[in-house]
Amino acid sequence: MFFGWLKHYMPRSLYGRAALILIVPIVGLQLIVSIIFIQRHFDDVTTQMTRSMAIELRLVLAQYDTAGVSELAAPLKIELAAGEIIEERRRWYDFSGLIVRRELFGMLDGVQAIDLPDGRVLRVEVDTERGPVVLSFDRLRVSASNPHQLLVYMIGFGVLMTMIAYIYLRNQLRPIKRLARAAAAFGRGQVNDFRPSGAIEVRAAGHAFLDMRNRIERQIEQRTLMLSGVSHDLRTPLTRMKLGLSLLEDEDREPLERDVTEMQRLLDEFLSFAKGASEGEAEACDPFELVRAIVEDCERVGQDVTLGALEGEGSGLVTLRRIGVRRAVENLVGNAVRYGNKAVVSVALTERALRIRVEDDGPGIAVDDREEALKPFARLDAARNQNKGSGVGLGLSIAMDVARAHGGILRLSESTDLGGLRADIVIGR
């Protein structure tokens, strides 16, 4: 578009753009009125007054040329001084002075200089038959009195109306900001008390958001109940199978027990996926201490995981769901040690974001397969090491759900230090 370059200079916030919509028309209107005012008032009125004054000056000069004195000067309130020479002066913002000079030079013969030192007096040097004379009179006789008042009133009332319009517009934009905060909080897994208000269109958007939020919450609840119920019901036959296997001979029991144990592990992963990222309440916590505790717990169960760099430009606590973050990091560590030999967990905290990184030395995931790997039940075991057993394909999906529930994202890339997969959970503060 022709005006596409203006997008780079437009305000980003809604308040800024609304203020721009208010200010531009008001300033434009003031400029148009100012141009018309200057043209009509300063130009036309000053021209008429200067021409009338020029006629009086000609009468005084004609009488002075004839008699050497002018009896009309005193009644016309014009001071006449013979033999003086003046210096031309004019203030830079005295636009009406340009019109006065133009008219006096055009209507009076012999004008040598016109002095406009201030807004109170005007002096004209004229070369007559009896020598140079200086005519002095009140400046208001050639310029309108207080010509700036209209501009002052216009600017003053313009500022006042802009403030009133801004206050009214701020009240109209407040419901939109509340809706945006409620939507952002819901994206982080928090439910704020929100009631639609404002204009009809804003209320409609608010009610649509509430309906959407209720449907999503019902869907999550139904999914959780369904998977939890199925997983719970399957535990009973698994328990009976374990009891039955305990009665078999040792050589026949071992492979069946491995299968039952694998089924038990898969059920646990299903339950973790069913619980999702909504388990637990969001609370302010120290991300460094949280990740350090997760790494220590993983080390205690025999996983080869080490704690990497803890970088922090920012400081303070971050609002997180401890259980969800723990489940996500544990899943990433489990994947790392399953498909590789070791894992390294590091944390970086800035004023704007929190990044939890898990790296391994495994075969990694190809760039074309990373999007597929994030889907639930996706398994890319054909290209990965299965010596330590295969999973059900929910580890990365659970981590991604946790990141999204906190308003963040899960990014997969190649580890520059270990050569395997690098998984970053990035959460905005």
Between residues 385 and 100, which one has the greater pLDDT? 100
Instruction: Name the residue with higher pLDDT: 397 or 394.
Output: 397
Residue 65, Cα to own-chain centre: how many angstroms? 76
Residues near 348 by Cβ (< 8 Å), separated by ≥ 6?
309, 311, 312, 354, 355, 357
- Cβ 394 vs Cβ 385: under 8 Å: no
Q: Which amino acid, residue 262?
A: E
Same fold, 10-141 and 199-275: no
Supply the pLDDT for residue 60: 92
Average pLDDT over residues 10-37: 76
Contact of 397 with 375, CB cutoff 8 Å: yes
Q: With respect to CATH, is domain 199-275 assigned 3.20.20.80?
A: no
Cα 309 vs. chain centroid, distance in angstroms? Answer: 32
In the structure encoding, which two tokens stand for residue 209, read together? 């958001």
Closest CA to 230 of 164, 274, 260: 274
- Predicted confidence at residue 136, as pLDDT, reads 94
Q: For the ranges 5-14, 172-181, 183-192, which has the lowest average pLDDT?
A: 5-14
pTM above 0.75, yes or no: no
For the chain, the domains span 10-141, 199-275, 279-428
- In this model, does residue 2 exceed pLDDT 60? no
CATH class of 10-141: alpha beta
Band of residue 149 on the pLDDT scale cut at 50, 70, 90: low
Confidence of residue 383 (pLDDT cuts 50, 70, 90): very low
Q: For a pLDDT cut of 70, what percent of the chain falls above it?
A: 85
Domain 279-428, CATH = 3.30.565.10
- Tell me which of 42-51, 126-135, 271-280 is least confident: 271-280
Mean pLDDT score, 72-86: 89
- Burial classification of residue 273, based on how many CB atoms lie within 10 Å of its CB (0-12 exposed, 13-18 middle, 19 or more buried): buried
pLDDT mean over 287-307: 89
Token look-up 């919509």 returns 21
